[in-house]
């Protein structure tokens, strides 16, 4: 897990982590390898292979998933919508006009 700058929506704590999908996929591949190596014990090998497959399949879906260290809440970060530069410039011009009007009063 990687440290992040996000705040937990549940307890408002800033101690949160982000899941690393690459690490989870690599761990899943390792479990599949161990399962294939220990397949002469069918129950153990099969459990490792199934668990590893689940981890590999789930890893792409954990891209923007965060977990709080304090309350253990898990949530997904919503993507940020892009704002066009013309809207930003328009907003800045309006805020400057508002600032000038308030200074004159």
Q: What is the pLDDT of residue 104?
A: 64
Instruction: Tell me the pTM.
Output: 0.55
- Token output for 87: 């809207």
Residue 24 — left, alpha, or beta (φ > 0 → left; ψ -120 to 50 → alpha)? alpha
Neighbours of 105 (CB within 10 A): 4
- Token output for 41: 């014990």
- pLDDT tens, position by position, 17-39: 777 888 888 888 998 888 888 87
Query: What are the C-alpha distances in Å from 94 to residues 24, 82, 83, 90?
Result: 48, 20, 16, 6
Give the range among 4-13, 18-27, 69-78 with minimum mean pLDDT.
Answer: 4-13
Mean pLDDT to the nearest integer, 67-75: 82
């Amino acid at each position: 897990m990687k440290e992040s700058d996000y705040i937990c929506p549940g307890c408002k704590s800033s101690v949160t982590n982000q899941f690393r999908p690459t690490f989870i996929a690599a761990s899943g591949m390792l479990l599949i390898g161990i399962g294939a190596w220990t397949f002469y014990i069918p129950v153990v090998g099969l459990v490792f292979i199934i668990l590893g497959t689940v981890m590999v399949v789930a890893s792409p879906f954990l891209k923007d998933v965060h977990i709080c260290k304090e309350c253990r809440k898990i949530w997904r970060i919503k993507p940020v919508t892009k704002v066009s530069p013309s809207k930003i410039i328009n907003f800045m011009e309006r805020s400057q006009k508002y600032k000038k009007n308030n200074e004159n009063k």
